[in-house]
Copies of this chain bind each other. A is one copy, B any other.
Amino acid sequence: MLGKLRRLNQGVSKMALEESERLPSSERRRFLRSGLFTAGGAMVGGALAGIAPRALAATQYPPEIPSWTRTLGSGVVTDPYGVPSPFEKEVIRRNVPWLTADKISSISFTPLQHLKGIITPNGLFFERHHAGRPEIDPQQHRLMIHGLVERPIILSMEDLQRFPSVSQINFIECPANGGMEWRGAQLNSLQFLHGMVSCAEWTGVRLSTLLQEAGIKPEGKWLLAEGADGAAMTRSIPLEKALDDVIVAYAQNGEALRREQGYPIRLVVPGWEGNTHVKWLRRLEVGDKPWMQREETSKYTDLMPDGTAHGFTWVMEAKSVITSPCPEMPLTGNGIHQIEGLAWSGRGKVKAVDVSVDGGQNWQQAQLREPVMSKSLTRFSLEWKWDGTPALLQSRVIDETGYVQPTLTQLIEARGTNSIYHKNSIQTWQVNADGSVVNVQLS
C-alpha cells in the first residue's frame, strides 16, 4: 500500500522536483521513479462521504510526471482567436438529418448536456435559419426605420453604435423546442429534445431609443421587423412590447454577433419566441395593424383541437429540464449525485424549481444558483443519494407570476395535440438500475 501511495505522489511533489533538478537527466528519471521523496508522506484514504469513492483508485493516477509537466507548452497567440481543447471535440451543435429537408432551412441544437452556468458560449448557440446563414458585409448593411414615423431614417452599423447602448442576459428559445414529443417519447437525447434554447449577454440599442429618434405617429401601433436573409424573415410585433425591453443587438457575450445569430444586427425580444428575434435585421416599419406575414399565419401559430389557430402566441411560458443526469450523461454509480438543470420563463424571473425522483409523487425544492435574472436561464441543483434502484426524475418550475410548469396531460387537455409549438410540459427521465437514462412520458 505504501509503495502505491508513493507512486501516487510522484507527480505532485514540488520539493522533489526541485531536488531532482540538480541531477543529470537519466539519474533524475530514476530518482523520480524511486518513490523515496514523498513530500511528508501524505496518507491517501479516509471516508469521503460517498461523493468521490473512485478518487482513491491508485492505478488511475499517472505513474510518473506527465509529459505536459516535463515539456514547454505552446506560446501565446498560438490561436489569436482561441478554440476549445481537442479533448472537447464532441461538444458541438448537432442537427437531426431527417427533421428537415435540407440544412438551409433547418435547426441545430445546443449540447445542453455539456453546458455549465447560464451563459451559452457563442460557438454552441443553437441555430435556426429559414433560408440559410447569409454572409453580410457590415459596411454595406443598413437598418431602415420607416412607415408611420415622423422622420424615416437609415442607419449604418457605425451610426447605430453612436446611440446609448444597454446589455442584458436573455435566453432565446425556438417555440418548436421539444415539439416532436406531443404524442409520445420520440427522442432519447437532451440535446435533441431541448437544445433549441440558449442564453447570452446581448448588447445593443433599445428599440425605444431608435423609435424615439424616428418619432412614432399617433396611429402607429405595430412594428414589422424584416431580415436581410434570403427568406426576408418578417414578424409583426406590437409597439407596447417594442417600446418595453426589445433591443437591436450588435453583440453577444462581449463580441460582435455571430453570423448564425444575425450578424451584424438582430432583434432581441426578451421572453418571446425565437423567430420574433429577427436576425440580419434590415427594416423596421411602424404600422397600425399586424402584417399577417407567412411566419405568423401559416407558421408559428398553434392549431387547437377545434380546428381554430391561435396566432401571435409570442410568450415562452416557463419551462425547466434536468440536464444532469440525462440520456447523454448517465449515472456512473450509486451514491451522492448533484441533480442539475435549467429553468426559464418568458414572463420574468424563475421563482422556484421543484424536483421529483419518483415521477411526480413527491417533490423537493431545488436550490437556485445565482444570478437569477429576468427572462434568462437559471440553473438549479439538488443533492441526491441514489441507491441504485430505478427512478423517475422530473423538474417543475414556478415563475414570478405564479405560473406552474404543466404536466403533458394538463397541456394536452388545454391544447390538444395538433400543434408543434409551445410544448413546455414537465420532462421525465427514467433512471435504470445500470445508471442509464431514458426519455419517457408518464400518462
Q: How far is the CB of A180 from chain B (nearest CB, A)?
A: 17
Question: Residues of B contacting A250 with CB < 8 Å?
Answer: 116
Classify the interface of chain A: helix, strand, loop or mixed.
loop
Pairwise interchain contact B120-A164, C-beta atoms closer than 8 A: no
Pairwise interchain contact B43-A255, C-beta atoms closer than 8 A: no
Pairwise interchain contact B167-A76, C-beta atoms closer than 8 A: no
A85 to B340: give the CA distance in the assembly, Å.
34
Given contacts A54-B159, A151-B48, A164-B383, contact A256 B93 (CB under 8 A): no
Given contacts A75-B132, A213-B52, contact A45 B152 (CB under 8 A): yes
Q: How far is the CB of A267 from chain B (nearest CB, A)?
A: 15
Pairwise interchain contact A103-B117, C-beta atoms closer than 8 A: no
Pairwise interchain contact B55-A155, C-beta atoms closer than 8 A: yes
Question: Residues of B contacting A260 with CB < 8 Å?
Answer: 76, 79, 82
Q: How far is the CB of A243 from chain B (nearest CB, A)?
A: 18
Q: Does A165 contact B (CB under 8 A)?
A: yes
Q: Mark A136-175, 1 if CB is under 8 A from B, else 0.
A: 1110111010110111111110111011111111000000
For A150, give its contact among B12, B46, B85, B88 (CB under 8 Å).
Answer: B46
Q: Mark A49-81, 1 if CB is under 8 A from B, else 0.
A: 101101110001110001011111111111111
Pairwise interchain contact A66-B338, C-beta atoms closer than 8 A: no
A150 to B44: give the CA distance in the assembly, Å.
9
Q: Does A346 contact B (CB under 8 A)?
A: no
- Chain B residue nearest to A78 (CB atoms) is B133
A95 to B114: give the CA distance in the assembly, Å.
32
- Chain B residue nearest to A202 (CB atoms) is B117
Pairwise interchain contact B52-A159, C-beta atoms closer than 8 A: yes
For A256, give its contact among B88, B106, B202 (CB under 8 Å).
Answer: B88
Interface size class of A (residues with CB under 8 A): 35 or more
Pairwise interchain contact A77-B127, C-beta atoms closer than 8 A: yes
For A254, give its contact among B107, B121, B155, B229 (CB under 8 Å).
Answer: B121
Question: Residues of B contacting A155 with CB < 8 Å?
Answer: 52, 55
For A68, give its contact among B61, B118, B162, B228 (CB under 8 Å).
Answer: B228
Pairwise interchain contact B134-A68, C-beta atoms closer than 8 A: yes
Given contacts A81-B92, A116-B255, contact A44 B153 (CB under 8 A): yes
Question: Residues of B contacting A123 with CB < 8 Å?
Answer: 79, 81-83, 255
Pairwise interchain contact A154-B338, C-beta atoms closer than 8 A: no
For A336, give its contact among B49, B94, B162 (CB under 8 Å).
Answer: B162
Question: Residues of B contacting A121 with CB < 8 Å?
Answer: 121-122, 253-255
- Chain B residue nearest to A337 (CB atoms) is B162
In chain A, residues 201-217, which have Cβ atoms closer than 8 Å to a Cβ of chain B? 201-203, 213, 215
Having A12-B144, A69-B230, A162-B338, one finds 19 other A-B pairs with CB under 8 Å, namely A12-B282, A44-B154, A52-B153, A52-B155, A55-B159, A69-B228, A72-B104, A72-B132, A78-B103, A81-B84, A82-B124, A82-B259, A116-B167, A116-B255, A121-B121, A123-B255, A158-B332, A168-B370, A371-B373
A-B pairs, top 10 by smallest CB distance, nearest first, are A75-B103, A46-B151, A73-B132, A42-B146, A68-B134, A116-B251, A80-B92, A116-B203, A117-B167, A52-B159
Q: Which residues of A contact B (CB under 8 A)?
A: 8-9, 11-12, 14, 17, 39-40, 42-49, 51-52, 54-56, 60-62, 66, 68-88, 91-95, 102-104, 106-108, 114-125, 127-129, 131-138, 140-142, 144, 146-147, 149-156, 158-160, 162-169, 201-203, 213, 215, 224, 226, 228-230, 232, 234, 250-251, 253-256, 258-260, 263-264, 280, 282-283, 285, 332, 336-338, 340, 369-371, 373, 379, 381, 383
